[in-house]
Amino acid sequence: MIPHYLSLTNFLSYRDTAELDLRGVHLACISGLNGAGKSSILDGITWALFGKSRTATDDNVVNRIAAGNGKAAEVSFVFDLEGAIYRVIRRKALGKTMQLELAVRGDDDQTRWRVLTESGVRETQQAIENLLRMKYDVFTNASFLLQGKADEFTTKTANRRKEILADILGVNRWDEYKDRATDRRKAAEALSLIHI
């Protein structure tokens, strides 16, 4: 996944819309004073993709001043994955149900988005995880270190570390291939017994 664009509105420390154009950026360093919103940028990406951030509850992602004015938090994240451009938009108003949209840029018209949003947030979330072929734990352990959680991977159980590494390396795909090959072998053996 290659990040292209991130927009944060009423999200954590960002009240006004902050836009970050990452196209053409190969290496970036985010610096600033404490509380300036550096970690909120990474939280914006994980919240858009997985609905998870450092906050205790979903309502806590809504900027306090914006929440007091009845406004919702919104994060829009655009990224390239295997040559296709995707957009995820997640919204949350204080005390309201979260909204989630998934779209891909149209093949025939690069200015239009083709909606991939499923019937509900849970189904759309699953579609995003299927698209990325990873869940939040794998993403955060493979992509960056969360503030205050640099040791998160090392403190997990041995089995959980093994699962995360298997997901990162794509080892699970080989298990699927093995299962399919076993099923085909059994079907061929059963068919050969019928013809005997």
> CA torsion 126→75→69→60, rounded to 10°?
60
Does residue 109 register a pLDDT over 60? yes
Distances (CA, A) of 36 to 73, 129, 158, 169, 173: 18, 30, 36, 35, 41
pLDDT at 131: 95
pLDDT at residue 157 is higher than 70: yes
The residue written with tokens 């610096």 in the block is 31
Residue 171 confidence (pLDDT): 66
Cα(43)–Cα(129) distance, rounded to whole angstroms? 17
- The winner for highest mean pLDDT among 39-43, 63-67, 122-126, 174-178 is 122-126
From residue 183, how far is each of 121, 179, 180, 188 by CA, in Å?
Answer: 34, 6, 5, 9
Beta carbons within 8 Å of 73's beta carbon, 6+ residues apart = 9, 10, 11, 12, 61, 62, 63, 66, 91, 92, 93
Residue 22 to residue 28: CA distance in whole angstroms: 9
Q: pLDDT (tens digit, 9 = 90+) per residue, 68-78?
A: 899 999 999 99
Residue with the bigger pLDDT between 186 and 142: it is 186
Tell me how long the chain is. Answer: 196
The pLDDT value recorded for residue 196 is 65
Q: What is the CA radius of gyration of the chain?
A: 21
Give the whole-angstrom CA distance, residue 14 versus residue 62.
9
Averaged over 6-17, what is the pLDDT?
93
User: What is the structure's pLDDT at 145?
Assistant: 53
Percent with pLDDT over 90 in the chain: 47
pLDDT of residue 76: 98
